[in-house]
C-alpha cells in the first residue's frame, strides 16, 4: 500500500504558483501539512491564503546559500521536500554564456542548496522530488544549454538517491503545462501539441499527481516520471 500523506509535513520550494502550487494544493487535500516557500513575501502570503487553514509559508531565496540555510534552520523537522523553483525561459542568444548561467543558478544549484541544508531535518523515511523539463529530452534549435540544465537534474537525482539513502530522491519531468507563466496563443499551442498522442497541454493538477506518487511510493528512488502527454515520443 502507498504511504499516506495524512499528517506529514511537506515543504514545496516554488510552491506559490504554477506546478508548485498545484503540488501544495494536492498534498494538502491528501491530509499533509504544507509549507510553501518563495522569494517574494507577497506571493507567499497569497498562496497561504488560497491554500487555507493549516498551510504555512516563508520567504526563501534559492540563490543565496545563507538564506536557504536559515530557512531550513527555522523550519525544523519535516517529511517531504518538493523543489519546483526556477525558470526555463531561454536567453535570446545561448552563446551569451553569462546570460545562460541563470539556467543552473536556481533550478540546479538552488536545488542543491535546499538539499544540503535539509539533510539533517528531513525524515529518514521521507523523500526529495526535483523538477526538470521534457524539452531536455528533445532539444530545440538554440536550446542546447537549457536542455543540458534539464538533463543535469536527472543525473543529479540518480547520484543523490545513493548518497542520501534511505531518503528517497526522484524527479518529475513535465511537458507543456499551462501555468500562470505560460502565455501562448491558442493557434501556437495547437501547433506545439498536435503531434503528441495526447494533443493538448497539461494542467498543474495533472502533473501534481506524479509528485504525490513519488512522496507516497516508498519503493521508488532514483527515478524520473515523465508527465508530458507523449511529447517525448514524437
Is the sign of the CA dihedral 28, 2, 156, 228 positive or negative? negative
Residue 86 has a pLDDT of 83
Residue scoring higher pLDDT (22 or 54): 22
In this predicted structure, the answer to whether residue 92 has a pLDDT above a threshold of 80 is no
Say which residue, 182 or 35, is predicted with more confidence: 35
Rounded mean pLDDT of 103-116? Answer: 93
Question: How many other CB atoms sit within 10 Å of the CB of residue 34?
Answer: 29
- Sheet strands side by side (includes 224-227): 56-59, 33-38, 9-13, 78-83, 122-131, 168-174, 224-227
Least reliable range by pLDDT among 48-57, 85-94, 159-168, 197-206: 85-94
Geometric angle at alpha carbon 109, from 51 and 57, rounded to 5°? 20
CA 59 to chain centre: 17
| Residue 88 confidence (pLDDT) | 59
**CA–CA distance, 57 with 78 (Å, rounded to integer):** 14
Q: How big is the chain, counted in residues?
A: 234
Q: Is the pLDDT score of 156 beyond 70?
A: yes
Mean pLDDT of the chain: 92
What was the pLDDT predicted at 16? 96
Q: Are 41 and 74 in contact (CB under 8 A)?
A: no
Cell digits of residue 121? 531535518
Between 127 and 187, whose confidence is greater? 127
**CB count, 10 Å around CB of 125?**
12
Mean pLDDT to the nearest integer, 203-226: 97
Instruction: Name the pTM for this structure.
Output: 0.94
Task: Indicate the range of 6-15, 27-36, 134-143, 156-165 predicted with least confidence.
Answer: 134-143
pLDDT the model gives residue 89: 63
Task: Reply yes or no on whether the pLDDT at 4 is more than 80.
Answer: yes
Report the pLDDT averaged over residues 70-94.
Answer: 88
Q: Measured between alpha carbons, how far is 19 from 102 in angstroms, rounded to an integer? A: 20
Write the DSSP assignment of the chain as a string of letters.
Answer: -PPP-TT-EEEEETTTSHHHHHHHHHHHHTT-EEEEEES-HHHHHHHHHHH-TT-EEEE--TT-HHHHHHHHHHH--EEEEEE-----PPPS-TT-HHHHTHHHHTTTHHHHHHHHHHTTTEEEEEEEEEE--GGGGSPPTT-HHHHHHHHHHHHHHHHHHHHSTTSEEEEEEE-SB--TT----HHHHHHHHTTSSS-S-B-HHHHHHHHHHHHH-TT--S-EEEESTTGGG-
Q: Say yes or no to pLDDT of 2 above 70.
A: no
- Tell me the C-alpha distance between 182 and 168, whole Å: 31
Task: Write out the three cell numbers for 125.
Answer: 523515511
Q: What is the pLDDT of residue 90?
A: 65
Amino acid at each position: 500500500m502507498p504511504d499516506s500523506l495524512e499528517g506529514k509535513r511537506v515543504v514545496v520550494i516554488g510552491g506559490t504558483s504554477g506546478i508548485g502550487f498545484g503540488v501544495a494544493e494536492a498534498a494538502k487535500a491528501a491530509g499533509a501539512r504544507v509549507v510553501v516557500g518563495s522569494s517574494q513575501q507577497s506571493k507567499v502570503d497569497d498562496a497561504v491564503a488560497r491554500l487555507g487553514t493549516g498551510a504555512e509559508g516563508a520567504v526563501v531565496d534559492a540563490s543565496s546559500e545563507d538564506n536557504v540555510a536559515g530557512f531550513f534552520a527555522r523550519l525544523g523537522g519535516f517529511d517531504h521536500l518538493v523543489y519546483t523553483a526556477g525558470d526555463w525561459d531561454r536567453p535570446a542568444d545561448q552563446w551569451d554564456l553569462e546570460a545562460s548561467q541563470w539556467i543552473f543558478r536556481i533550478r540546479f544549484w538552488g536545488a542543491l542548496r535546499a538539499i544540503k541544508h535539509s539533510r539533517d531535518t528531513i525524515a529518514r523515511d521521507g523523500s526529495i522530488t526535483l523538477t526538470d523539463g521534457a524539452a531536455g529530452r528533445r532539444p530545440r534549435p538554440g536550446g542546447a544549454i537549457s536542455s543540458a540544465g534539464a538533463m543535469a537534474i536527472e543525473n543529479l537525482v540518480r547520484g543523490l538517491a545513493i548518497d542520501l539513502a534511505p531518503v528517497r530522491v526522484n524527479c518529475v519531468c513535465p511537458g507543456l503545462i499551462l501555468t500562470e507563466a505560460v502565455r501562448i496563443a491558442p493557434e501556437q499551442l495547437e501547433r506545439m501539441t498536435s503531434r503528441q498522442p495526447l494533443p493538448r497541454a497539461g494542467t498543474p493538477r495533472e502533473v501534481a499527481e506524479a509528485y504525490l506518487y513519488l512522496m507516497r511510493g516508498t519503493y521508488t528512488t532514483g527515478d524520473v516520471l515523465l508527465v508530458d502527454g507523449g511529447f517525448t515520443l514524437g
